[in-house]
Amino acid sequence: MPLAVIALMAAAFGIGTAEFIILGLLPEVSTGMDVSITTAGMLVTGYALGVVFGGPVFTAAALRISRKNMLLTLLIMFIVGNVLSAVAPAYWVLMLGRILAAVCHGAFLGIASVVAADMVPQDKRSRAISLVFTGLTLANIFGTPLGTWMGQSLGWRAPFWVIGLIGVISFVGVAALVPSSPNEAQGRTLHSEISAFRSGQFWLAFAIAGLSMGSLFAAFSYITPLLTDVAGFDSGWMTGLLMIFGVGLVIGNLLGGRFADKYQIGTLLVAQALMVVVLLVFALTAQLPVIAVILLPLMGGAGFGTVPSFMSRVIDSAGEAPTLAAAMASSAANGGIAVGSFLSGLTVEAGWGYTSALIVGAGMAALAIVVTVVSARTERRALVAA
């Protein structure tokens, strides 16, 4: 695999750490900024909105420059966003820094997926995409836990300085290793990119992305109270349990990339079906801590096992206009995450218990199976007709 893909993976590690770090530092940010926990929690919402809306908008505005220059510009925004967060004298400055970093997130992962896929043979495209997203999954194992510890020990600003440094290192790596394509931007216009939106397969791939990620995060949104209040774990176990979950993310992502090149639809269906089974079993056995330890990595693996397939499917369905499509896929995934978290929140607030979040996730995964089957059959009919 080209070293350039490793450079993109390193950047994704920094981006993933930046996304999740705030979850472990809300009390410290609340105290340091003299705002309520609820107000501090809006930093999570602001970041999510930056990913959903900012990524496609920025990608569309930058279509006339090469993808490498787009990646470098996004990394500059990422560095500036995290430095702003580190030095923020007021809450609104911190929010601005988070949104800048989020815009990078939304556009970078999509564009990096296209770049990685273009650097390898056709039969290794999904594997290259999975390596980019491996950086995102490794952030859950190492970046976020270490950053949380650092923030709690040295102050909440310290992790943002380190993440900014990771951004600088990633910038150097991308600048040195990602090949330039001087003529790549010629002929790429917003109209040509949007033309891909007319494809029915394009929208079905978006739905698969949103439902697949939504199913995972519908369950994961309430994983801490589920494990402590229902399974009976002491809060001190949470770091280790979340690292186990992160290991599942990494393995699932890598296996998904390995099989998606040959069995794209099959990989999606197996991962989605596994998610349904795991979440339903988890809901029935949530009070058993040993079973929870077994199911956590399976849940993470099933969730991220879909990522290489749906990303490569979006890129393939976009034809000659993959850049905006890939950024939109990241937005669709994050949109699904927002919907899944919202729906599971409604069931918990209704008094149905934390296990209801697992049921919501299983329902979304089942719906993802239906959409995937429809997509496969539609594609097959189109091939027969041709």
pLDDT tens digit string along 184-241?
A: 555 556 666 666 677 778 889 999 999 999 999 888 878 878 998 899 988 778 778 8
Tell me the pLDDT band of 265, cut-offs 50, 70 and 90.
very high
Structurally, how many domains does the chain consist of? 2
Would you list the DSSP string of 100-133? HHHHHHHHHHHHHHHHHHHTS-GGGHHHHHHHHH
Residue 183 lies in a domain: no
Rounded Cα distance, 75 and 69, in Å: 10
354 phi and psi, to 5 degrees?
-70, -25
Give the three-state DSSP class for 182.
coil
pLDDT at 334 over 50: yes
378 lies in a domain?
A: yes
Co-location of 171 and 264 in the same domain: no
Rounded to whole angstroms, the Cα distance separating 97 from 195 reads 33
Instruction: For residues 368 and 207, give the distance between their C-alpha atoms in angstroms, rounded to a whole number.
Output: 8
Cα–Cα distance measured from residue 91 to residue 225, given in angstroms and rounded to the nearest whole number: 28
Give mean pLDDT, residues 363-386.
89
pLDDT grade, residue 87 (50/70/90)?
very high
| Higher pLDDT among residues 320 and 70, named by residue | 70
**C-beta of residue 256 within 8 angstroms of C-beta of residue 199:** no
Mean pLDDT of the chain: 87
User: Burial, 218: exposed, middle or buried (Cβ in 10 Å; 0-12, 13-18, 19+)?
Assistant: buried
> In 178-263, where does DSSP find H-type helix?
190-194, 200-220, 223-225, 238-260
Contact, 344 vs 360, CB < 8 A? yes
Q: Are residues 156 and 206 in the same domain?
A: no
Residues 173 and 194 reside in one and the same domain: no
> Looking at the predicted structure, is the pLDDT value of residue 93 above 70?
yes
* Range name among 48-52, 98-102, 155-159, 360-364 with the lowest pLDDT average: 48-52
> For residue 184, is it within any domain?
no
Question: Is 139 in contact with 20 (CB distance < 8 Å)?
Answer: yes
pTM of the full structure: 0.81
Domain containing 7 equals: 1-177
User: Do 138 and 213 reside in the same domain of the chain?
Assistant: no
Residue 9 within a domain: yes
User: How many residues are given for the chain?
Assistant: 386
CATH of the domain at 58: 1.20.1250.20
Give 41-82 pLDDT, tens digit per residue: 778 778 877 887 877 777 776 667 788 998 999 999 999 999
In contact, 130 and 7? CB cutoff 8 Å: no
Whether residue 383 sits in one domain with residue 285: yes
14 is a domain residue: yes
Helix (H, G, I), strand (E, B) or coil at 34: coil
pLDDT at 253 over 80: yes
351 pLDDT above the threshold of 60:
yes
- What is the reported pLDDT for 74? 93
Per-residue pLDDT at 77: 93
183 pLDDT band (50/70/90 cuts)?
very low
Comparing 299 with 129, which gets the higher pLDDT?
A: 299
Q: What is the pLDDT of residue 62?
A: 64
Q: What is the mean pLDDT of residues 358-368?
A: 97
Whether 347 maps to a domain, the answer reads: yes
The confidence band for 161, taking pLDDT boundaries of 50, 70 and 90, is: very high
